[in-house]
Structure 1
């Protein structure tokens, strides 16, 4: 989404805004955060403040992981120096990269993100202004008042008084409901169907097109629920939490799981004319491969899924959760009763307790130990190459596992597990062949889909009539 600042009015707009300023008065912006940092206010006609995120539409790989961590509230409890260390840069390097690719500092982006979440809560909830300050991650009401006045030229109370939505989303069973906007087309129902087939018993559940799962917020267990918003622009999130303190992490993790910030429209535009999968893309716009709510959980689910069916992988992962995950005493819907095990819990388990083939148990144990001891940071890998090299150094993790973890956890746009049976089978069907493609044949074919192979894989997988090991 192209953005522009209008120097004569001090407002920033979407490029397609109905208000048409003179060209000489327009300044291009790399992100909404850059506009805010430069002192521009969001336009009240095209509402660029309602864009899915404040960062660049297609972030450079150098800043992608830092942006993801900020989106999940990392800077609510850490410093920019700690953020830089987490993603492998010096503080000066990180500041330079953000100036180059984002147009705003990490600290400014985090403040603006809290302010925009607060504005959404002011519009869509009946939480008090004080409750909203802490839910959005501000240290105090005074801080929120100051930041929002700087960015929007109005105090929170003034924004609440003039909110455009006179019908705030009603609470359901004490839950907090929010609309989550997304970039580009998104087939939310098919995403939920994909997750339903892979739900971990006791941790995740899908019922009546509603995805729900357990989570932990501020040290207390809770449940998140996600439904398709039905308007082609939003998903609807309901948070059932003991307290609504700093919900930014929960919002960020849901956004990551449903890939809401991965605008696949450019990939679809390219792939829709492809001779092999073009008909799949044209017939089902908006398919995306899900990301990860909990990177460790998703990676474990993928490791367990090596060479077994989708259903079997869900069953085995559910047993891990039942045996090693923290029990939730409160009654929850859909049989939800466990938090997913921590890396330390699985690292400390004996391989025979993992209840799976010995080689896979050793692989899972080595992976959990590497994460628990800090040798692998799933949320700070900077590139597809780094991720696959690091993961494949562990016993029992090959290209299929590493590529799929990179696609879902890292959000790598060009990951492609060419040995996957489902991909080879569907590609053969698209070519009119009875026999599955070989790994080499599929890899050669997939070279024509670069740099959008993850989106191509999503279409091949989701076009399958039945789940295959994945």
Structure 2
């Protein structure tokens, strides 16, 4: 099945910038940018789908393939940020105002798919991004399926029951320890409960995800930022974000979660958007120690 549709944004719109948070590294088998188009795969209730998004004048042209083509196009406005309201954001700091001015087309995406955001967030717990991206790539390519449509290298994420059935040695080969694999299996085994969180208000959605052992505030916020597009789902427990926010707003280099939340308090209701705008400034505290090297449990 091959279907097309167009979407007209209500104002300035940055397609790759808005959807960039959905990519899990430069070689994500579910997300690629090629020749000006954004390609994305997903698994919906109606089946797998591949989506190609291309800016065309003042519109976005969408093409969809697969059993889930109609459903993915029905969710296109939410995915592209139509339900977002960036005009409600009021900058309270000069550096935030400047970033807001430089990125007028940034909108928060809403995929409506919780598990496909939750699994990679669990993989990213307490390790380097490089390690997590490699694990995600390995698992999706091995246990997912080739994506419908013309893109030759894209894959669709595994079904929930497939995540549950991955044997322990395959998690080990993917460089995923038992703590993270167990959390993924628990979440996938309750996939219906997880997907219900897409329609919940933020407090209830956070509580629903954190009811899974191994899913804490950091992981839940990272997933819901993408699945629910909530502008207030600020990430706590991150190694770098508090320091980035603190350094950009005060020049201090050792801000912790409590300090970050205090600095973002004027943006309550829009704290995630404020934090994202600050990460786009490029203002980061200088390193005092070597970059952490990726680990590898596959040799153990």
Structure 2 residue 57 is the aligned partner of structure 1 residue 224: no
- RMSD over aligned CA atoms reads 3.2
Q: Which runs of 4+ in 1 moved over 4 A?
A: 192-197, 215-222
Equivalent residues in 2 for 1:107-256 (5 A)? 176-196=3-23, 198=25, 201-215=28-42, 223-231=50-58, 234-241=59-66, 247-256=69-78
Deviations 1:265-316 (A, max 9, x none): 112xx12x43452221122223233332643212212121223343432221
Structure 2 residue 260 is the aligned partner of structure 1 residue 438: no
Deviation at 1:435, TM superposition (A): 1.4
SS at match of 1:363: helix
Residues 464 and 303 of structure 1, relative CA distance in 2, 3 Å threshold: farther
- Kept after mapping to 2: 8 A contact 1:224/1:240: yes
- Kept after mapping to 2: 8 A contact 1:217/1:241: no
The aligned residue for residue 376 of structure 1 is 194
Deviation at 1:422, TM superposition (A): 3.8
Number of matched residues? Answer: 283
Instruction: From 246, 269, 281, give the equivalent of 1:451.
Output: 269
SS at match of 1:287: coil
The aligned residue for residue 342 of structure 1 is 159
The aligned residue for residue 97 of structure 2 is 278
- Kept after mapping to 1: 8 A contact 2:86/2:107: yes
Q: TM-score, normalised by structure 2?
A: 0.80
Distance 1:409 1:216 in 2: 13
- Kept after mapping to 2: 8 A contact 1:414/1:451: yes
The aligned residue for residue 100 of structure 1 is none
Deviation at 1:344, TM superposition (A): 1.2
Residues 444 and 209 of structure 1, relative CA distance in 2, 3 Å threshold: same
The aligned residue for residue 414 of structure 1 is 232
Deviations 1:130-158 (A, max 9, x none): xxxxx9xxxxxxxxxxxxxxxxxxxxxxx
- Kept after mapping to 2: 8 A contact 1:381/1:410: yes
Equivalent residues in 2 for 1:326-337 (5 A)? 326-327=145-146, 332-336=150-154
Q: TM-score, normalised by structure 1?
A: 0.53
Which 5+ residue runs of structure 2 have no aligned equivalent? 285-290, 293-300
Higher relative contact order (CA 8 A, sep 6+): 2
Residues 290 and 462 of structure 1, relative CA distance in 2, 3 Å threshold: farther
- Kept after mapping to 2: 8 A contact 1:184/1:265: no
Distance 1:393 1:221 in 2: 28
Of the two, which has the highest radius of gyration? 1
Residues 198 and 184 of structure 1, relative CA distance in 2, 3 Å threshold: farther
